[in-house]
Amino acid sequence: MTDCQMVSSDFTADEKMEIENIKSHKKDLLEDIQKLKMEIDNVMAEILSFESAEENKIIEKSKRSSNGKKKFNMDPKKGINYLVENKLLDGSAQSIAEFLYKEEGLNKTAIGEFLGEREELHLQTLKAFVELHEFSDLNLVQALRQFLWSFRLPGEAQKIDRMMEAFATRYCDCNTQVFQSTDTCYILSFAIIMLNTSLHNPNVKDKTTLERFISMNRGINNGGNLPDDLLSKLYESIRNEPFKIPEDDGNDLTHTFFNPDREGWLLKLGGRVKTWKRRWFILTDNCLYYFEFTTDKEPRGIIPLENLCVREVPYPRNHTVWSCTTPTVEGRRSKRVKRRQTAGLWRGSTSPTPSVLPVQRRETPGSRPSERVSPRIHSTTWSQSVRRR
């Protein structure tokens, strides 16, 4: 007889029943624990799935936002329309103004172009944009520095006039005791901008003196004179430090190529002269942009990748070459490449010669390293040697 049997025989019938009940309860608890583990695993899977879906939404929203900024920098109206259509802006003047004021990576010339238009939405956006600036306790030059850094003034006099009028109204709202009217602020603001040009433009030989600046602004304060001390401080501020004007000129496409999908060196077959040339390629927004050097601001050409046909082209010396073309009627092929005609202007052109990109050579035994060419590329994939930013 074993020890367990001896111990078991010592229990009474009630004790044995209690032990069986405990064993049964333990079994039920273990089953419940297992069920809870399975439920926890299911909940965790749902949480991970939800987090993944949310992360994908955030990534997709970020991508649409990036595309919207690129489109805005190229064409402000089309960019805003894209952002509204993709529900990144609600289309109100306030939401557009906050986008222009707060968003990073926007071309400041494009901002000025949008704010300068006469349509009602643009006028309301200008008003909301100016009201986002806080000018309280700033002298006029300090306020102008802040305002003129937030965008680039357009060239048209009427647009500048509307913008400076909106600025003067906002400045007087923030500083009610400085000027007797917004007209005074408006006139003096223009005088300060002219003073900045006079003092810091090397082409201006006759520099405005302090005495002349004070004399020019006599009687502008509702017929009265502004304090000489105020005008002297404004003059000295401009003489010591000119306005910092945003340097982008509306033709800078740098933001378009920010954070591309892919980038790297490839060889490209010339159009008229059939020679392979090394070019820096950037893939973004379903377009291939190619440059002569990585430091170039504007591309030598653009190859749109929409409705693209990719085919292998026979080529000597065991190279693999892909032709990226757009099919046209009757089987003819055309290459649509936009080339710069003048600064910032692009034109579509067609040619019966397809755009041919060289790809990695199919190496054969005995091939020399010097025969290797550029990395493999086809419609959507790049080789390891094309680095990702």
Confidence of residue 7 (pLDDT cuts 50, 70, 90): low
Confidence of residue 45 (pLDDT cuts 50, 70, 90): confident
What Cα–Cα distance (Å) separates residue 290 from each residue in 203, 287, 338, 385? 38, 10, 11, 17
Question: What pLDDT score does 315 carry?
Answer: 66
* Catalytic (active-site) positions: 156
Residue-wise pLDDT tens digits, 121-159: 999 999 999 999 999 999 999 999 999 999 998 888 889
Question: What pLDDT score does 231 carry?
Answer: 95
Percent of the chain with pLDDT over 90: 36
Question: What pLDDT score does 247 carry?
Answer: 67
CA nearest 388: which of 261, 293, 256?
Answer: 261
Question: What pLDDT score does 46 carry?
Answer: 82
Confidence of residue 326 (pLDDT cuts 50, 70, 90): low
Buried b (16+ CB within 10 A) or exposed e, 279-316: bbbbbbbebbbbbeeeeeebbbbbbbbeebeeeebebe
Question: What pLDDT score does 350 carry?
Answer: 30
**pTM: predicted TM-score of the whole model, two decimal places:** 0.56
pLDDT over threshold 50, residue 230: yes
Of 21-25, 87-91, 222-226, 333-337, the range with the lowest mean pLDDT is 333-337
pLDDT over threshold 70, residue 170: yes
Residue-wise pLDDT tens digits, 53-96: 777 778 888 888 888 888 899 899 999 999 999 999 999 999 99
Confidence of residue 228 (pLDDT cuts 50, 70, 90): very high
**CA 131/CA 147 separation, integer angstroms:** 11
Structural domains of the chain sorted by starting position, each given as residue range(s) with its CATH number in brackets: 132-240 (1.10.1000.11), 260-364 (2.30.29.30)
Compute and round to an integer the Cα radius of gyration of the chain.
35
The vertex-188 CA angle with 185 and 189, nearest 5°, equals 80
**CA 112/CA 162 separation, integer angstroms:** 12
Q: Any alpha helices (H) in the chain, and if so which ranges?
A: 3-9, 13-74, 76-85, 93-102, 108-115, 120-131, 140-149, 157-174, 182-200, 210-216, 228-240
Confidence of residue 274 (pLDDT cuts 50, 70, 90): confident
Residue-wise pLDDT tens digits, 340-388: 333 333 333 333 333 444 443 334 344 333 333 333 333 333 333 333 3
The H or E element spanning position 284 is strand 276-284
Whose structure tokens read 């002569």? 292
Residue-wise pLDDT tens digits, 231-271: 999 999 999 999 987 765 444 455 556 557 778 888 887 77
